[in-house]
Amino acid sequence: MKKLVMSLAVAGAIFAAPTVTDAMSMGDRGGDVRELQQTLADEGYNNASNVDGVFGPLTLAAVQRYQLSNGISSPAGNFYGVAGPATQSSLGLADGSSASSSSSTSSTSNTQVAGTSSSSDASAMISTARSLIGSPYVWGGMSPSGFDCSGFINYVFNQHGESLPRTVAQMWSAGTPVSNPQPGDIVFFETRTGPSHSGIYLGNNEFIHSGASTGVTISNLSSNPYWSSAYIGARSF
């Protein structure tokens, strides 16, 4: 399944932190990200100009280079590009005992495969989403008269009694990472820096979303090169 096993990128580092921070991924921001970037720069894996506290493609590439060079992960690994406990510990950002215990917890949470909703709930949600195909794109829109991408997802989930964060970045941070999305999960894309577009996964590499030029429509992750290259991961709720 093209791109759907793409590892999530993470950032989180400290000049001398006593404990392990949570694993961070593409789109994360803040002091932990800045410290990770600086530590990678000190080690020669990141450009000093890329110390801005935003985990984007340059930070992802730096983490991947460090993991490859130090035998932590590879392109075949589930956590390639994820600055989890093993990467943080190797960088000297946490002690080994904390990293070991956190690694077990992180591994459990990050390898979850299925979403939290039952298949019947997902089916009903997808039916609602499909009924909205053709609704126009409207910036900030949250009703059938017009949706932006996160407004569309919020509307569909709200129809089934579930409340989600309003923005794409907030949804990315709040959801549970899944390596292989299931129908009803949310797939995310980096169309600008960090997670900036999202849709509801339908299965068979398809997702439904409100596109700026299309309104609510169904697109394919594998056959559409734009979406396959922009895909950064999935979350369940």
Q: Which residues are catalytic?
A: 149, 197, 209
CB-CB neighbours of 134 under 10 Å: 10
Query: In the structure, how many helices (H) and strands (E) does the chain have?
Result: 8, 8
Q: Count of alpha carbons within 13 Å of 8, Cβ hemisphere only?
A: 29
Cα-Cα-Cα-Cα torsion 190, 105, 61, 168, nearest 10 degrees, comes to 10
Cα–Cα distance measured from residue 226 to residue 89, given in angstroms and rounded to the nearest whole number: 36
Cα–Cα distance measured from residue 197 to residue 74, given in angstroms and rounded to the nearest whole number: 27
Q: Is 202 helix (H, G, I), strand (E, B) or coil?
A: strand
Cα–Cα distance measured from residue 172 to residue 218, given in angstroms and rounded to the nearest whole number: 21
Tell me, rounded to whole angstroms, the distance of Cα 71 from its chain centroid: 24
Q: Answer yes or no: are the C-beta atoms of 202 and 208 closer than 8 Å.
A: yes
Cα–Cα distance measured from residue 130 to residue 208, given in angstroms and rounded to the nearest whole number: 8
